[in-house]
Structure 1
Amino acid sequence: MYFSILLNKFSDFIRKILYFLDDITTSFTRDKKRIVLFLSLVAFIFGCGALILNLKTPMVLDDFAYSSAVRYNTGFLQTVLDIVDFQYNHYFGWGGRTIAHVIAQLLLWVNPLIADVLNSLAYVLYAFLIYYHIIGRGKHSIGLLVLVNSLVWIVQPNIGETLLWLTGSANYLWCTVIILLFLLFYRLYNNNGARYTFPKCIGIFILGIITGWTNENTVTGLIIIVILFILYYKANRWKIPLWSIIGLIGLVIGYIILIKAPGNIVRSTTIGDEFPVPLSRVMLNFIAYTKETVKTLGSLNLLGLICLILLLSNSQDKVLNKKIVFLYLTYLIGALVSVYVMIFSPQFPPRAWFGLVTFNIISLGIIFNSLNSQIVVLRRIKQSVVLFSVLLFTALYIEGFFDVNRINNIWNERKEIIEKNSASQTPCIFENLESRSKFGTSDTEFLAPAISAYYETPIDIVY
């Protein structure tokens, strides 16, 4: 009896929320100023959520190495020229992600509060870029922006190392922002005959080089997506703009600079990776990454498939359906290419899924946003999905906050011990720190030497 009463009250509560969503949707979409206001409010709320966690996330892992520059005996970073010198040595001695690590060192060089604010703003820009890749030149949707933000925190497998840890966010969040910004030119093109002058072509060529120089597996998927967009233009007898070809050429050049860095071989030798990867390992990687794809992206793509069926069942506009299906498949193919190119790599850490998960969120969003909200059943489905995503995000965020706060407290205790021991050069021995959620960052085997050099104090991590 009590269960029945509770269930009825819960049903009434959900029904009132859905009616409320109906009200704000019909009223806000008629007023552009109120749309902008409400979209800004959504961005502000999620941006503040990111800022709170950024403020709580201490310097960890590679932050120490990229702050001190001791790897190349050049001392602590003092000027921008120190960063240039560091990255020159880094390109030939460790890896080709120059763009990512320049961003990382700039963030580590400025005041920590400024870095946290900038990192949070980068997240807000990242969410908006996903949103605009979904809607293109279409109508705004408040619920869609809420869903995009929620899905990022729900689906991304390692938030702590891709959105919060400064060096990690430079490699994944910031580089994905660059990738989405570059790709937006191709997404928004609609054969409108816009003129691209020589300076603009040079600009997108340079942006293409920078974009190609960001992240190995995500850029591989990006190249495929760009090619598919150009083929789409041709198939629809659109004028293929010069900038699209020049941008692709720049993208490939940047990609070559990235993967051909001499430091990539040095790093593989140093950490003991077998390169090139033998065929037997490639086959095992294929199986393992297929399982991981189902685990990480299975629910997302099942929802996308359901939305696709609902779309095709309720829309008679064949031309529009064709375009939507093309966009859906294009971003999905880009995500899958970014997964399976990694079967040739010795390692595929969870944080390296960031870019391809982003592509997959866009592919789902395109189908989801295309469902006709004028049909009551589809509108209720869309509202229910948004509502459920918000509830799940809230639960995950609360768990993550307590984990990040715990890690921050431990690091504050560590710094106090280091400060006490530094004068006498007494070794500091810390127990291995493990994160309890995907929002935190654990210690690694590379941490002790980097933190020892940074604080100029003997430090060891006991595993």
Structure 2
Amino acid sequence: MFAWSYKTPYMNDDLYFANAKWGALFSLGVNDYLGSNGRIFGQTFTRFILSKGVCFSSLCTAALFIALLIILFYLSRSITKNVICSPRIIAITVMVFLFTPSFGSVFLWRAGVGNYLAMAVMELLFLLLIYHPISNQILSYILVIGLGFIAGWGNENTSGAIILICTLLLAKTYMQNHKVPLAPLLGTLSAISGFVFLLLSPGSQIRLKVSVSGYSQLSTFAKLRRGIAMFIDYFTSTFPLSLVFISMVVVVLVVSMMFWKQNSSFWDGLIFIIGGVASAMVMIISPSGTDAGRTYLGSFLLLLTGMMLLVPQNLEGQRGLKCLYLCTVSVMTIMCFFSVAKGIQESDVLNNQLRARYSYIMRSKSKEIRVEPVHYINNNYSLSTAYAELTSPRDSQAFPNNCYQVYFNRSVYLK
């Protein structure tokens, strides 16, 4: 992941956020919250990652990717105090590479790393502390309150799903033990408070008016029809991988109801799947992002965790199901190898064009530069899923022209 990120050039928002000063990270985040984007933590993480150049950002990306996988291993009980289950670890790793929506815009695009990967690590770490509390109560209270606030102030659909999962876990605990643990309750309340700050952001309202003009004038029915159409268009455009993953979740859910209802993690798996479905379905009523794969990262990770919780650690005595499970993991591993190998090759096509463009801009002595458009084929493992091209009109403040203006201190337009 470090090498892959290191070979990936900056793109659009990366240029705008590059070389941010550490001392100004918080104040710039507050300015975003008030004027352009309510995701203050995601924006701050992005600036931090990009503050010290390409090598530092690539190290951060690799560290966050490793952290995400390790948290998924513990959250799905693939690693416990007594057991390290290798097939489950392989299955989770392969599915992250194979099924992550818009992989490139989450793990390779540095603005996506800050806003989505870093936030996913914080959100899942918070759930891990809720799901597996630590023994030190004081430290547990401090961590769940702090991480809960960050998780609630994350991404609108994922943060809402995190709060839903916490609420359901608290309800399950109360029904089983007739009491509610204090640490998870404090964490849930902290997440709710962070979520309120996110929803009330003035910057988000300003961004909505600029990016989706006329949305507020639509009727409720028109908004719903628009959201459903965009939701369906997105999932049909990602066929067949999205269908394969959704089918796997449904199959595991049905099999678990038939054979594994006595599994100790059965209800937890259902709760995580409910959260994942809610995180995806709420995008139907979202004014923007419905057709952007990166907005479904949280939904995917929650569904993946729920699906793995439904599968028992030990399938001894169920030879047919165990054979099917191991065969499925083997086939996915082979598919993953070829998909990623091909994706890395295709990502170089876009990367090389961006590097050539930046080199041309830096060599040019003119203050106003016209460049050729970038040509690429959409690929899950490249920057294409988040790429926005320069505009032709001479408007240096239009996106992403303003990013080039800030980074190169020159006006750059398409020929």
TM-score grouping bracket, smaller chain normalisation: 0.7 to 0.9
Match for 1:400 among 334, 339, 343? 343
Could you tell me how far 1:367 is from its partner in structure 2? 2.3
> Which residue in the other structure is 2:56 paired with?
114
Counting matched residue pairs gives 395
> Which residue in the other structure is 2:98 paired with?
154
Q: What SS class does the counterpart of residue 413 from structure 2 fall into?
A: strand
Alignment of 1:235-246 (within 5 A): 235-237=175-177, 239-246=179-186
> Which residue in the other structure is 2:108 paired with?
164
Which structure's CA Rg is the greater one?
1
Match for 1:448 among 379, 401, 404? 401
> Which residue in the other structure is 2:10 paired with?
59
Q: For each residue in 1:321-375, what CA deviation from the matched residue of structure 2 results, as whole angstroms up to 9, or x when unmatched?
A: 3x43312211111111112222222112221011111111112212234461443
Could you tell me how far 1:227 is from its partner in structure 2? 0.3
Alignment of 1:1-400 (within 5 A): 50-67=1-18, 77=20, 79-135=21-77, 137=80, 139-189=83-133, 194=135, 196-197=137-138, 200-237=140-177, 239-276=179-216, 278-279=219-220, 280-286=222-228, 288-289=230-231, 292=234, 297-314=242-259, 320-321=262-263, 323-347=264-288, 348=290, 349-370=292-313, 372-400=315-343
Counterpart amino acid of residue 128 in structure 1: I
Report the Cα distance in structure 1 between the residues aligned to 2:84 and 2:174, rounded to whole angstroms.
28
Report the Cα distance in structure 2 between the residues aligned to 1:340 and 1:330, rounded to whole angstroms.
15
Report the Cα distance in structure 2 between the residues aligned to 1:308 and 1:281, rounded to whole angstroms.
32
* 2:353 and 2:374 in contact (8 A); partners too: no
Unaligned runs of 5+ in 1: 1-49, 68-75
Percent of pairs identical after alignment? 19
Counterpart amino acid of residue 344 in structure 2: F
**Higher helix proportion, which one?**
1
Distance 1:281 1:122, change over 3 A: same
Over 6 Å off, 4+ runs: none
Could you tell me how far 1:313 is from its partner in structure 2? 4.7
Could you tell me how far 1:257 is from its partner in structure 2? 1.1
Q: For each residue in 1:372-399, what CA deviation from the matched residue of structure 2 results, as whole angstroms up to 9, or x when unmatched?
A: 1443322221211111111111111111
Q: For each residue in 1:297-341, what CA deviation from the matched residue of structure 2 results, as whole angstroms up to 9, or x when unmatched?
A: 4422422333344445555xx6x33x4331221111111111222
* 2:272 and 2:305 in contact (8 A); partners too: yes
* 2:123 and 2:147 in contact (8 A); partners too: no
Report the Cα distance in structure 1 between the residues aligned to 2:123 and 2:212, rounded to whole angstroms.
30
* 1:216 and 1:259 in contact (8 A); partners too: yes
Unaligned runs of 5+ in 2: 390-398
Could you tell me how far 1:122 is from its partner in structure 2? 0.7
* 2:174 and 2:180 in contact (8 A); partners too: yes
Distance 1:288 1:431, change over 3 A: closer
> Which residue in the other structure is 2:395 paired with?
none
Q: What SS class does the counterpart of residue 428 from structure 1 fall into?
A: strand
Could you tell me how far 1:178 is from its partner in structure 2? 0.3
Could you tell me how far 1:147 is from its partner in structure 2? 0.9
Report the Cα distance in structure 2 between the residues aligned to 1:84 and 1:241, rounded to whole angstroms.
33
